[in-house]
A and B are shown apart, each in its own frame.
Chain A
Amino acid sequence: MAKRIEVKGLDIYYDKFLAVQGVTMTIEPRSVTALIGPSGCGKSTFLRTLNRMHELVPKARVEGKVLMDEQDLYGAGVDPVGVRRHIGMVFQRPNPFPTMSIYDNVAAGLKLNNKRIKKADLDALVERSLRSANLWEEVKDRLPKPGSGLSGGQQQRLCIARAIAVAPDVLLMDEPCSALDPISTQAIEDLITELKEQYTIVIVTHNMQQAQRVSDVTGFFNLKAIGEPGGLVEIDTTTKIFTNPANQSTEDYVSGRFG
């Protein structure tokens, strides 16, 4: 199930513009890795390269290596669709499919791919996914209702249920709580802690308390200077990053002296 990801010397481009330069890091399985840093430093861009969503932007490309259990995700003959089957993603804004019911949204990963599966098995899968996303109790009586009728926090948990229903090895989360209130945030953070038992989780967040609460390892991204590409400044255990970072700019950022 959970897999290790190794990133080696990754340069990320938008056409000719070098957005992120020289990222090298290892993401351990069954752990939560948080990526923090100021806006525009390339955290989300980097996250999207991990499941090859980055190349959906016209002319976007990468150089370097991303290895998932020794296999290069950007190697010749690797199918991006296959990569995404192993690495799921949750987005900043909840985006349930508006034409589908709550049930269909959770089953979307299978239904959209025309996987033939017995009704009973699908029911079980939907229930299991919703339970893992802490949403089952709230929606079990209205599964056939549209998913877009849920509250923002519920929608985001629905999106997480949808992402884990296809049983990925790695789960990427791009600021999953930035549009949510503290209670929904709490629910999703608890969920991340539970999911850690089975998945490799990478989360981008602007909330440093959140990074401290949920993550085991934290990576700090920053721009080298205004107009220069962004890059990974340092990555270490969360405790170390927040108490005794090796780099001065990390220290400034996590203590709020960043300017």
Chain B
Amino acid sequence: MSTETTLDKTPPPPDVLPPVPLSRGSLPRGAAPGVLLAFVVVAAALWQLADANPAVCGIGAALGYSVVIYAWSRAVEGPRGAFDRLVTAIVSSAFVLALLPLVSVLTTVVDRGLERFDSEFFNNSMLGVVNEGGGASHAVTGTLIITGIAALMSVPIGMMTAIYLIEYGRGRLARYITFFVDVMTGIPSIVAGLFVYALFELFYGPGIRMGFMGSVALSVLMIPVVVRSTEEMLKLVPNELREASYALAVPKWRTILKVVLPTAIAGIATGVTLAIARVIGETAPLLITVGITRGDNFDPFNERMATLSVYSYTQYQNAPGFAREAFVDRAWAAALTLILIVMALNLVARLIARLFAPKTRS
């Protein structure tokens, strides 16, 4: 029908896009920062002087800036420039909004934690302490022991699972494992704690508590994370390297051990360290399986142990009416210690990634 007409004479291209002038007006330099500054100053003044809610002031400033810069830009720069400015404003506001709670948490913990972040805190347990003084040396060691055992159990299991899934797994079994690993990454930590308690109760009877149970509970949480991160790293190893190795008559297991793993080890080490950082602050499963002590117990197979997260919780929870400050300060100091450990682990992860990364240049 219409094909004939188009064959006869091609219609001119439809005028969808209006002609665009090569130059256009633009806001004066410093216009955007100026408007932003004005709104920030107004918001700060409202907050400080009129005692308005700081959150409302901040959101108001962001909104006001977006509206004003959009209107001004639309008048001077045209609709496209205005839309660009608007989206830039929205994206930046979202970024600041996302960052606020993080910064707030960090400053609060540092601010309140520094109160008791002293040598006494790291050299004493709570043995014989009724109100002021005392420390968390037993909890720091306990956390390191329990998380360390958890890592020792989860890393080999997780890595080997990932190697199976990527290098060997085909068909139904591999699909099921992948599915359940995904499910396991989502289980609430309290469920892991209850599961381990129920398991050990079968053998040791009710009321059983020991550090090793906590390690098992953390492993349940950690293994799926290790599997996922190792899997992703192994997927990144180019198949060409495996083929190059096979072509040199290297058996499959040796190829995995000597070519695939060394190529991926930087990423795997980072993933493992982040998995450790993820579980080191778990509270709920440790509360159920490990409990808390006032003094030193560094035997993970015998009786309760102290951990930083549970220590922080119990200090806050059990703070008596008198000398309440001392307990709450200890809770914050324990929280700060935990954050510093996690931060150190993250730095270690970066260091490992840099040290092990395959080098292209010398």
Contact = CB atoms under 8 A, between A and B. Distances in A.
Nearest to B240: A95
B312 interface: no
Interface string A81-123: 1101100110101011111000000001101111000000000
B238 interface: yes
Given A97-B259, A98-B263, A109 B358 contact: no
Interface in A71-85: 81-82, 84-85
B356 to A, nearest CB: 9
A148 B263 CA distance: 12
Contact of A112 (B248, B358, B359, B360): B248
A142 B259 contact: no
B241 A166 contact: no
B242 to A, nearest CB: 8
B244 interface: yes
Contact of A56 (B170, B243, B254): B243
B84 to A, nearest CB: 41
B244 A84 contact: no
A162 B249 contact: no
A126 interface: no
Question: Which size class do A's interface residues fall under?
Answer: 20 to 34
A162 B248 contact: yes
B254 A97 contact: no
A91 B259 contact: no
Cβ-closest 10 pairs across A and B: A98-B358, A85-B249, A89-B247, A84-B249, A109-B248, A95-B240, A145-B362, A99-B262, A112-B250, A146-B359
A113 B254 CA distance: 7
Interface string B156-196: 00000000000000100000000000000000000000000
Interface of B: 170, 238, 240-251, 254-255, 258-259, 262-263, 358-362
Q: Which of A58, A96, A142, A146 gathers the greatest number of chain B CB atoms within 10 Å?
A: A146
B246 A146 contact: no
A56 B263 CA distance: 20
Given A95-B240, A97-B259, A112-B259, A163 B247 contact: yes
Interface of A: 51, 53, 56, 58, 81-82, 84-85, 88-89, 91, 93, 95-99, 108-109, 111-114, 142, 145-146, 148-149, 159, 162-163, 166
A146 B259 contact: no
A159 B248 CA distance: 10
Contacts of A96: 244
Contacts of B361: 146, 149
Given A109-B249, A146-B361, 7 more contacts: A56-B243, A81-B250, A84-B246, A88-B247, A97-B245, A112-B259, A163-B247
Contacts of A93: 240
A95 B246 contact: no
A112 B255 CA distance: 8
A200 to B, nearest CB: 16
B358 A99 contact: yes
A166 B244 CA distance: 13
A149 B245 CA distance: 19
A112 B245 contact: yes
A112 B258 contact: yes
Contacts of B238: 95
B118 to A, nearest CB: 45
Contacts of B254: 112-114
A146 B360 CA distance: 6
Contact of B249 (A58, A81, A111): A81
Contacts of A84: 246-249
A243 B170 CA distance: 49
A219 to B, nearest CB: 21
Contacts of A142: 362
Q: Which of A51, A84, A88, A99 gathers the greatest number of chain B CB atoms within 10 Å?
A: A99
A159 B360 CA distance: 16
A213 to B, nearest CB: 25
A95 B255 CA distance: 14
Contacts of B358: 98-99, 146, 148
B247 A113 contact: no
29 contacts: A53-B246, A53-B247, A56-B243, A56-B246, A81-B251, A82-B249, A88-B247, A91-B244, A95-B238, A95-B244, A96-B244, A97-B241, A97-B259, A99-B259, A99-B263, A99-B358, A108-B245, A108-B248, A109-B249, A109-B250, A112-B245, A112-B258, A113-B249, A113-B250, A146-B361, A148-B360, A163-B247, A166-B248, A166-B249
Contacts of B244: 91, 95-97, 159, 162
A214 B183 CA distance: 57
A248 B253 CA distance: 48
B221 to A, nearest CB: 31
B306 to A, nearest CB: 42
B263 A88 contact: no
A91 B246 contact: no
A166 to B, nearest CB: 6
Contacts of A82: 249
A88 B243 contact: no
A53 B361 CA distance: 31
A53 B242 CA distance: 11
